[in-house]
Structures are given as C-alpha cells and as structure tokens.
C-alpha cells in the first residue's frame, strides 16, 4: 500500500501537518509520495509532480477543505485511487475527517479495517461548430450563468434528444448527488443521498415560477444549447474551472464511466454530517 499527500498550500498549517504525517509513515515503514510544491519547502525527499503522483499510489490523503478535495478528485479521475479527505477547519461534506482523527483512520487503513464509497462524476463535452473542443469532469456541479452580469441566460435544454424547456433564469446548475449540498442547495435544489445515480438540474433565480428543480437518471444524456450572443455567459466546473461560451455552443452532460472512491468515516455517517453542517435540530429562539 502506497500513500500520496496533497494539500492546500495557502494554509501554512498544511506544511506542518505534512511533515508530521511523513514522519509517522516512515515510522510505520509505509511507502508514500508528496506533491512537489508541498514537500520541497519542508525538505521531504519522496516527491512527485501532482499529475504523476496519482498513477503511483493507492490512497491519496487530501489536507485542506472541500475545495482542495474537489481539485484532487479531478487528479484521480481514471485512476484506481482511494481518497481520504482531512478538513483542517471543521467538518466538510467531502473532507469527512478532522485532524484529530487522521492517525486513527490511518491505523484502520493499515489494518484493512475501513470502507469506501463510490461517487459518480459528471462528464461533459463542449461542441463548437460541430467539433468537440473540450471534455471535462466534475464531482459537484457544472454551472452556466452570466458571470458578473446578473441577467437572464437564454438557452435550450434537451433530454435524450427531446427539447424539454427554454428556462427563463439567471443560469442553471447541473449537479451530482455529491454536489446537491453545494451551490444547488443554495439555489433551492433538493438534498440527494450521494450514492444515488441521478443528475439534478436547478435553475438559478427562475423568472417563471414553474421552472423548478428536476431530477433525472444519470444515464440520461442532457444537451444544453446556447441561444444568445454569449458575451458574458460562462460555464464553470466545481467552482474552480471556467471559460466563456459562444452562441450556438452545445454542452452534453452524462454520468462518467469512471467514479471516485472516498474513504468513509467510521466516526459518523452522512446524516450526522448533514445535521452538523445544516444545524438541523438547533433552536434559533422562540416567539414570546
């Protein structure tokens, strides 16, 4: 078993934790690699470039938050690598482990006493002038909107080749179940259990009240056609990768043939995280 370590390099605490983690792994005589930009400043010798690291390991330890985890999920896409997310702030939806739990779960992993959970990725391709100009994957969501300009996005949505709607909204979010607790939730979308095989379509600030969130099978092929002169219309993946669209562009979405394997926490379940993050059961005061 070989571990890889990546982390949020803007957080100085990550370098300290990485050094301690490497010392612990060495004591356990466990093989590991550290991404070069994280390991060089703390004099770690077992280094690899970020893109090469995932092809040489079995488990990737991600130190940071959910944003760092999302970036790591694109790294492991297509590789048989399990991901262990450690949140250095509070609990995350993806980074399920606290810093205090890191070595406890590592002990369990070395003993083979742990479980993983498969999460589907959303695969998309951009077609421009009848040519595929890019293919992308996202663990959380793909969003189409007008960027800094708040106005209606003019687009048409097709499901399995059939025109479904031309929504009047500020944009639209296509979300995986994993991403249902992210941007989609803030736009009024449903919370969906993360292993269900579905895609969630959530309009952003719909101008017609009948434009509501829609959940379809992840085997469905969705096509979005950009109908307007898209000077400020952007597509964004996981809130981290984005680029402008043009009139006539077509985006095709479907579940990915690949998936990622997340190491599950034995210390709490998904609903415990929901209760903590969304403060379910909290009383905000009473009316006197």
36 phi/psi in degrees, rounded to 5: -60, -45
C-alpha–C-alpha distance, residues 176 and 280, integer Å: 23
C-alpha–C-alpha distance, residues 140 and 173, integer Å: 10
Query: Considering only CA atoms, which of 55, 236, 20 is closest in space to residue 141?
Result: 236
Hey, what long-range contacts does 127-133 have (CB within 8 A, 24 or more apart)? 127/249, 127/250, 127/251, 127/252, 128/246, 128/248, 128/249, 128/250, 129/248
H/E element holding 277?
A: helix 270-278
In this structure, what token pair is assigned to residue 211?
């434009």
Residues annotated as part of the active site: 66
In this structure, what token pair is assigned to residue 230?
């898209």
C-alpha–C-alpha distance, residues 35 and 68, integer Å: 13
C-alpha–C-alpha distance, residues 44 and 40, integer Å: 6
């Amino acid at each position: 078993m070989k571990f890889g370590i990546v982390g949020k390099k803007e957080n100085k605490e990550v370098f300290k934790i990485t050094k301690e983690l490497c010392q612990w792994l060495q004591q356990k005589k466990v093989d590991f690699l550290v991404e070069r930009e994280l390991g060089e400043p703390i004099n770690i010798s077992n280094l690899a470039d970020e893109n090469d690291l995932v092809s040489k390991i079995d488990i990737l330890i991600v130190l940071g938050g959910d944003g760092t985890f999302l970036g790591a999920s694109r790294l492991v896409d297509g590789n048989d690598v399990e991901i262990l997310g450690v949140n250095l702030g509070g609990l995350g939806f993806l980074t399920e482990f606290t810093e205090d739990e890191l070595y406890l779960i590592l002990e369990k992993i070395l003993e083979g006493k742990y479980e993983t959970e498969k999460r589907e990725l959303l695969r998309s391709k951009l077609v421009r002038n009848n040519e595929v100009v890019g293919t992308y994957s996202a663990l959380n969501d793909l969003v189409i909107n007008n960027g800094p300009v708040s106005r209606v996005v003019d687009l048409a949505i097709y499901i399995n080749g059939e025109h479904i709607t031309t929504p009047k909204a500020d944009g639209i979010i296509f979300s995986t179940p994993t991403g249902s607790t992210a941007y989609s939730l803030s736009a009024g979308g449903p919370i969906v259990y993360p292993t269900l095989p579905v895609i969630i379509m959530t309009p952003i600030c719909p101008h017609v009240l009948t434009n509501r969130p829609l959940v379809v099978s992840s085997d469905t092929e969705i096509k979005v056609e950009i109908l307007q002169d898209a000077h400020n219309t952007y597509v964004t993946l996981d809130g981290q990768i984005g680029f402008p669209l043009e009139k006539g562009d077509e985006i095709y979405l479907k579940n990915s043939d690949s998936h990622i394997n997340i190491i599950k926490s034995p210390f709490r379940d998904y609903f415990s995280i929901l209760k903590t993050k969304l403060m379910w059961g909290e009383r905000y005061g009473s009316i006197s």
